[in-house]
């Protein structure tokens, strides 16, 4: 458990993938209401590369069409569910199959970044607290596939970080609206901070390990990993909790 209680890691919780899924679902039900993660209403999603689509699509089309959890790419530090009106408060992830190489998990402390920006770059923070267009990818919202939300929300005792850079960029592209230069600079600086070792920790989730994140206070991502064409892919069971 980290010092601020924003995440907890349980090592060697359950090695058997089938039993692991059952047990983490019970944990999620104790923490709160589980949320659907796509238009099909699935509440338990396997985060694993979709090899068929990865082989079919160009690099640019992968960015535009696939959700992050369907790829093996690294980087793209983000919060989960930015396309939801109210993102999940907690994200539970359990490792069903670890990557043979790479695939290290990354957790970034966004409240620390907020405080850093407030002191050192208040002009950027002011921009990041304004509304940005966000694509609501993976869900079916008739005529509402893009909406506006701020990246940082801070009101008295409430704090929320909502961010996935690709969903912002594709939203502006779909709407044929050019991102202003000052907004691009603010996003680039934010990306630099969330990728910095100063504000993050990195670790390997092995088969049977479980992590629970506070999705309001933390961003997360991973390092890239190779596709195992003749073996089972790296697989993380993910549950969103309200």
- The Cα–Cα gap between 230 and 182 comes to 46
Q: What is the rounded distance in angstroms from the CA atom of residue 240 to the CA atom of residue 92?
A: 7
**pLDDT tens-digit map of 48-86:** 887 777 777 777 776 666 777 777 777 689 999 999 999
Model confidence over 159-193: pLDDT tens digits?
999 999 999 999 999 999 999 999 999 999 999 99
- At 230 the pLDDT is 61
108 token code pair: 């970034």
Question: Would you say residue 241 has pLDDT above 90?
Answer: yes
Q: Which pTM was predicted?
A: 0.89
Number of residues in the chain: 242
Contact 40, 231 (CB under 8 A): no
Alpha carbon 138 to its chain's center: 14
Question: Which residues, 6 or more positions from 171, have their beta carbon under 8 angstroms from its beta carbon?
Answer: 132, 133, 134, 135, 146
Compute the Cα dihedral for 168, 223, 193, 238 and give only its sign: positive
């Amino acid at each position: 458990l980290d010092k601020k209680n924003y995440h907890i890691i349980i090592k060697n919780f359950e090695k058997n993938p089938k039993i692991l899924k059952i047990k983490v679902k019970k944990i999620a039900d104790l923490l709160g209401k589980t949320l659907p993660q796509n238009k099909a209403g699935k509440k338990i999603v396997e985060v694993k590369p979709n090899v068929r689509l990865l082989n079919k699509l160009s690099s640019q089309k992968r960015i535009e069409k696939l959700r992050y959890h369907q790829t093996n790419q690294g980087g793209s530090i983000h919060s989960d569910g930015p396309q939801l009106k109210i993102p999940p408060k907690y994200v539970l992830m359990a490792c069903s199959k670890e990557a043979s190489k790479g695939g290290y998990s990354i957790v970034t402390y966004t409240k620390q970044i907020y405080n850093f920006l407030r002191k050192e770059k208040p002009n950027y923070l002011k921009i990041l607290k304004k509304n940005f267009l966000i694509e609501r990818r993976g869900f079916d919202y008739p005529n509402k596939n893009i909406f506006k939300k701020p990246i940082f929300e801070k009101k008295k005792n409430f704090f929320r970080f909502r961010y996935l850079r690709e969903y912002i960029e594709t939203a502006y592209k779909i709407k044929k609206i050019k991102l202003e230069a000052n907004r691009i600079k603010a996003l680039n600086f934010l990306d630099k901070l969330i990728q910095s070792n100063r504000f993050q920790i990195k670790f390997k989730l092995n088969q049977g390990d479980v992590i629970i994140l506070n999705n309001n206070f933390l961003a997360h991502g991973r390092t890239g990993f190779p596709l195992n064409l003749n073996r089972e892919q790296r697989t993380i069971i993910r549950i969103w909790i309200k």
